[in-house]
Amino acid sequence: MMILRPIQQCDYPALLKIAHESGHGFTSLPNNEALLQKKIGHSISSFAKSASHPGDEGYLFVLEDSETGEVVGTSAIEAAVGLDDAFYHYHLSKAIHSSRTLNVYKAVDILTLCNDYTGATELCTLFLKDGYRKNSNGKLLSKARFMFIKQHQERFAETVIAEMRGVSNEQGSSPFWQWLEEHFFSMDFPTADYLTGIGQKVFIAELMPKYPIYVNLLSEEAQAVIGKVHNNTRPAIELLKREGFTFNGYVDIFDAGPTVEAKVDNIATIRNAKNFTVTIGENSDETAIMLANDKLNDFRATVAQLNLDETSSELTLPQAIADALHLQAGDIVTATRI
């Protein structure tokens, strides 16, 4: 059984391995031992913290194979971004150049540096090991965060965003960054990405162009990847689109990958999930159901084949599933069809 739960201190070796395997462009999980330890500690304190509004909390989850005890994936939620460190994007928009006298009208795309998502809740750090990219594991890793947000909505902002990994090759070279590096920087993409991941963002404000960039002045290779995702990220962005997330022109400042957004109340899983009172017993297999308890630092979620009667106020769980979710008869479980 695959179980999503909050990260624990003992998960550090697994997190370090995932940080190494995730490769270039995975900014939220840099391969830095001190920072990874700090992330674990910050997550543990965030889950333990009493909060009535979104602040600097960061909730890091791991996906565990209960049969082997192996940690096979990660996902996270940042309650509110940009409150301590500036949170940068480029916004893709249009500028109009026109002259009635010359009978000229031309719309051109421009990229403008901005901090428009300051205070938004961010979905991040989604990674699943190769051998486990099957069944409903990816959906559990991503969608269970919406169950957590639904149960603890006071901890999160009205707007939820997700930065999608942009186009880069196996060596970590980004066509978009290559153009920026040539004209404004003297560091390669992996280095810039790594510095951002460990919180050293001052160089962005110091070196990034202060005025809008005309897209047609970029190299053809850089223009071609604006708003495009890395091949490994395609399943993740398609899942978010089905949840109701949309792309509104905001892209990453390093690889130009798209950032998608949704209002909490418009997210499909949050709308469709329902709370049930737990009863213990046999339940015939019927369809894939995502289940989550309503706890905070003892949060658990899984996917199981169950019969779900959405008109009922009760849901019968086999003892093994109830135990895995740390639930007893009479407790509340949140459930929705995958």
Neighbours of 199 (CB within 10 A): 13
Compute the residue count for the chain.
338
Whether 326 is catalytic is no
Tokens of 268: 């499909």
Nearest C-alpha neighbor of 236 from the set 252, 260, 267: 260
Reported CATH class of domain 273-337 = mainly beta
The residues, any chain, with a CB within 8 Å of residue 58's CB and separated by 6 or more, are 39, 42, 43, 46, 76, 77, 78, 79
Give me the half-sphere count of Cα atoms (radius 13 Å) on the Cβ side of residue 79.
21
Local structure of 335: helix, strand or coil: strand
Q: Output the DSSP codes for 269-320.
A: HHHH-EEEEEEES-----EEEEEEES-STT--EEEEEE---TTSSEEEE-HH
Q: pLDDT truncated to tens, each residue of the chain (338 aa)?
A: 999 999 999 999 999 999 888 765 566 777 788 889 999 999 999 999 999 999 999 999 999 999 999 999 999 999 999 998 888 899 999 999 888 888 989 999 999 999 999 999 999 999 999 889 888 999 999 999 999 999 999 999 999 999 998 998 877 788 998 888 888 877 776 677 666 665 666 666 677 787 899 999 999 999 999 999 998 889 889 999 999 999 999 999 888 999 999 999 999 999 999 999 999 999 877 789 999 999 999 999 999 999 999 999 999 999 999 999 999 999 999 999 99
Rounded to 5, what percent of the chain is helix, strand, coil? Answer: 35, 30, 40
Query: 24, 91, 230, 326: which one is catalytic?
Result: 230
Domain with CATH 3.40.630.30 in the chain: 2-90+114-269
CATH class of the structural domain 2-90+114-269: alpha beta
d(CA 71, CA 328) in angstroms, rounded, equals 25
What's the pTM value of the predicted model, to 2 decimals? 0.91
